[in-house]
Every structure is written in C-alpha cells, then in structure tokens.
Amino acid sequence: MMNEGDKAPDFTLPATGGSSISLSDFLGKKHVVVYFYPKDNTFGCTSEATQFRDAHSDFEAAEAVVLGISTDSMRSHELFAAKLKLTFPLLSDSDKQVVKLYGAWNQKTVAGITVGLTARMTFAIDKAGVIRKIWPKVTVDQHAADVLATIMDFA
C-alpha cells in the first residue's frame, strides 16, 4: 500500500491510442492524476470517466495529466474510450502488477471462490513523482471536481 509522501512507483502500461505510457514520462509535469477503476462500461466507472472528460480543460489549466487504469483488456479500453469520447488515456494492467503495487487490488473469498476486483482509488502525484494525495475509497459523485480542487490547493 502506498502512502502520501511516498515516491510513486514507476510503471509502463499499454494505453489507448496504441502507445505505451510510463509514469516517468510525466516527471516535471505539475500534477499527474492516476485513478484506478474496476470495470469499463459499468455505471460508476462510466460516471467517473465522464467527469474527468468533462473537466478536461480545467485539468489542463491546472497543468494536470489524468490517467485511468483498470485490469480490462486494451480492446475493452479502446471501445470504452471511443464510446465516451474520452480526452485522456486509459491504461490496461491486465496482469494486475500495477494495481497490486499501488494497493488497488482487492480479493475476497465467497463460498470457497476467490474473486478479485480493482478498487476505486485515486492518486495525485507531483512533478517530482511524489504522491501528494490518496483517495483510498472513492465515491464517484463529484470525484473529479474534488480531485481538481485538491490539486489546485497544492503549492
């Protein structure tokens, strides 16, 4: 599990648009918002993604980059991003390495069956690659606005 003040671990993942993105690509960028979400095309995840999309110009004005990560396939991400006309990349962590590294992977056993799901968490990372704020249990309503307000308060 990551904590505020920790150096954000670097990662490289495939991203929508046919590229790969590394967190280190954004060193020196004033803010990087990395949000983990459970599943493409579900109600909460669609709401969260559209909030970040709709606030795109505000995040740009704050010199912030938004990255969405789930364990869904690239094909699923491409379709989801196109359907919602997303203005930021979605990254596929199909082997669950990054979600586990950031503490965003939950597993539980029900009736002898173990199931896992990406937790809805968000990290605000500064230009030095340090985690400034963690939202460990995101409530979707107004989440993008809350993230924007928080990063605007950073010096």
Q: 45 an active-site residue?
A: yes
Query: Of 8, 21, 45, 138, which is the active-site residue?
Result: 45
Q: Cα Rg for the chain, rounded, in angstroms?
A: 15
For the beta sheet containing 12-15, the strands, ordered from the edge strand earlier in sequence to the opposite edge, are 19-22, 12-15, 90-92, 64-70, 31-36, 121-126, 131-135
Mutual orientation of helices 74-84 and 43-54 as an angle, nearest 10°?
60
Query: Cα(68)–Cα(33) distance, rounded to whole angstroms?
Result: 8
Which residues are known to be catalytic? 45
